[in-house]
Structure 1
Amino acid sequence: MSSVNFLKKLLDGMPVEWKALGEVAKYSGTRIDSNQVNKRNYVGVDNLLPNRAGKTDSSYVPTEGRHIEYRSGDVLIGNIRPYLKKIWLSDQAGGTNGDVLVIRPNDPSLSSGYLHQILTDEKFFAYNMQHAKGAKMPRGDKAKILEYSIPIPCPDNPKKSLAIQAEIVRILDAFTELTTELTTELTARKKQYNHYRDQLLSFEDGEVEWKTLGDVIKKWYSGGTPKAGVPEYYEGGDIPWLRTQEVKFLDIESTEVKITQAALDSSAAKWIPANCVIVAISGATAGRSAINKMPLTTNQHCGCLEIDSKKALYRYVFHWVSFNYENIKALGQGARGDLNSSIIKSFKLPLPYANDPEKSLAEQARIVAILDKFDALTNSTSEGLPREIELRQKQYEHYRDLLLSFPDPEAVGA
Structure 2
Amino acid sequence: MSSGNFLDKLLDGVAVEWKTLGNEEFFEIVNNGRRPVKAALRKSGATPYYGANNIQDYVEGHTHDGEFVLIAEDGSASLENYSIQYTTGKFWANNHVHVVCGKSGLNTRFLYHYLRIVNFIPFLTGGARAKLTKGSMIEIPIPIPCPETPKKSLEIQAEIVRILDTFTELTTELTTELTTELNLRKKQYNHYRDQLLSFENGEVEWKTLGEVALDFGRGKSKHRPRNDEKLYGGDIPFIQTGDIRNAAHVITQYSQTYSELGLIQSKLWPKGTLCVTIAANIAETSILGFDACFPDSVIGFIANPEKTSSGYVEYLLSSLKTKLEEKGQGSAQSNINLGTFENLKLPFPSLAEQARIVAILDKFDALTTSLTEGLPCEIELRQKQYEYYRDLLLRFPKPTQAGECP
Aligned to 2:365: 375
SS state at 2:333 partner: coil
Tell me: CA distance 1:103–1:349, structure 2 relative to 1, closer, same or farther (3 Å).
farther
Percent sequence identity is: 24
> What pairs with 1:8-407 in structure 2 (closer than 5 Å)?
8-12=4-8, 15=16, 17=18, 19-20=20-21, 24=27, 43=48, 66-67=61-62, 95-97=90-92, 105-107=101-103, 110-111=106-107, 114-115=110-111, 117=113, 149=140, 151-152=142-143, 154=145, 156=147, 157-220=153-216, 222-224=219-221, 227-230=227-230, 233-234=232-233, 237-248=234-245, 250-259=248-257, 261-270=259-268, 272-282=269-279, 284-332=280-328, 335-351=332-348, 353=349, 357-362=350-355, 365-366=356-357, 368-378=358-368, 380=369, 384-399=370-385, 402=388, 403-404=390-391, 406=395
Deviations 1:240-267 (A, max 9, x none): 3211112226224432424255354443
Count of paired positions: 364
Q: Supply the distance in 2 between the matched residues of 1:340 and 1:122 (Cα, whole angstroms).
A: 54
Q: Which runs of 5+ in 1 are unaligned?
A: 31-37, 51-59, 134-139, 410-414
Letter in 2 for 1:247: I
Q: Supply the distance in 1 between the matched residues of 2:314 and 2:299 (Cα, whole angstroms).
A: 13
Q: Supply the distance in 2 between the matched residues of 1:293 and 1:197 (Cα, whole angstroms).
A: 23
Q: Supply the distance in 1 between the matched residues of 2:184 and 2:126 (Cα, whole angstroms).
A: 40
Letter in 2 for 1:297: C
Shift of 1:335: 4.4
SS state at 1:188 partner: helix
Deviations 1:106-135 (A, max 9, x none): 3456555555556677977999998999xx
Tell me: CA distance 1:148–1:197, structure 2 relative to 1, closer, same or farther (3 Å).
farther
SS state at 1:330 partner: helix
1:45/1:78 contact within 8 Å kept: no
Considering only CA atoms, is the larger Rg found in Structure 1 or Structure 2? 2
Tell me: CA distance 1:96–1:164, structure 2 relative to 1, closer, same or farther (3 Å).
closer
Aligned to 1:54: none
Q: Supply the distance in 2 between the matched residues of 1:102 and 1:78 (Cα, whole angstroms).
A: 6
Shift of 1:218: 1.4
Q: Supply the distance in 2 between the matched residues of 1:130 and 1:342 (Cα, whole angstroms).
A: 55
SS state at 1:181 partner: helix
Q: Supply the distance in 2 between the matched residues of 1:144 and 1:288 (Cα, whole angstroms).
A: 52
Q: Supply the distance in 1 between the matched residues of 2:163 and 2:331 (Cα, whole angstroms).
A: 58
Shift of 1:318: 1.0
Tell me: CA distance 1:321–1:141, structure 2 relative to 1, closer, same or farther (3 Å).
farther
Q: Supply the distance in 2 between the matched residues of 1:70 and 1:208 (Cα, whole angstroms).
A: 66
2:307/2:351 contact within 8 Å kept: no
What TM-score comes out, normalization by structure 2 length? Answer: 0.66
Shift of 1:219: 0.8
Shift of 1:291: 2.2
Letter in 1 for 2:346: L
Tell me: CA distance 1:66–1:340, structure 2 relative to 1, closer, same or farther (3 Å).
closer
SS state at 2:302 partner: strand
Tell me: CA distance 1:343–1:28, structure 2 relative to 1, closer, same or farther (3 Å).
same
SS state at 1:291 partner: strand
What is the alpha-carbon root mean square deviation over aligned residues? 5.0
